[in-house]
């Protein structure tokens, strides 16, 4: 097993996308990149903690590689908008890769360079050494599947999930 920590806007969206990828063992919503210990969702949303909404993706490298996870990462969000994904705005929604080893750093750097040509604007994704990581509150875990009738799930997450599943097939 290995893990990666990625920020691609709202963690509810990309958690739902990664949950159905072969080789992904688990996906956990959380926070990292800030200066406050044990932040709450409300504090992170205020923008005062420095933390980003992220997902901790535990994967089986025999089934899916870190590089393949990053290929998905580049496709599921817009890494050219600073501190924004769709209508979600703020530093907590920044595009970020938090590496946990020198190997992950090298792969992330190369992946970012390789995907630069995929976008009309420069990629603003930060590549940062992982510091303290905090699991988000329980009600954020598996949010989409637990809240299918929520308007955000219906009108934001579901279309992204349908688009992603169409591209996979």
The answer to whether residues 125 and 73 touch, using CB atoms and an 8 Å cutoff, is no
**Is 153 one of the annotated active-site residues of the chain?**
no
Query: Cα torsion for 38, 44, 47, 51, to the nearest 10°?
Result: 60
Catalytic residue ranges: 10
């Amino acid at each position: 097993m290995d893990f990666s920590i990625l920020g691609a806007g709202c963690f509810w969206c990309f958690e739902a996308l990664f949950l159905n990828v072969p080789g992904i063992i688990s996906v956990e919503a959380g926070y990292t990149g800030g200066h406050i210990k044990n932040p709450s969702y409300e504090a992170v949303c205020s923008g005062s903690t420095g933390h980003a909404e992220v997902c901790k993706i535990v994967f089986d490298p025999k089934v899916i590689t870190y590089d393949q996870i990053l290929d998905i990462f580049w496709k599921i969000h817009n890494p050219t908008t600073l501190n924004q994904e769709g209508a979600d705005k703020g530093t907590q929604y920044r595009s970020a890769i938090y590496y946990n080893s020198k190997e992950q750093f090298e792969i992330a750097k190369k992946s970012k360079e390789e995907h630069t040509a995929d976008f009309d604007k420069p990629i603003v994704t930060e590549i940062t050494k992982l510091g303290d990581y905090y699991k988000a509150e329980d009600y954020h875990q598996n949010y989409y599947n637990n809240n299918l009738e929520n308007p955000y799930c219906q009108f934001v997450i579901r279309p992204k999930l349908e688009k992603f599943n169409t591209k996979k097939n």
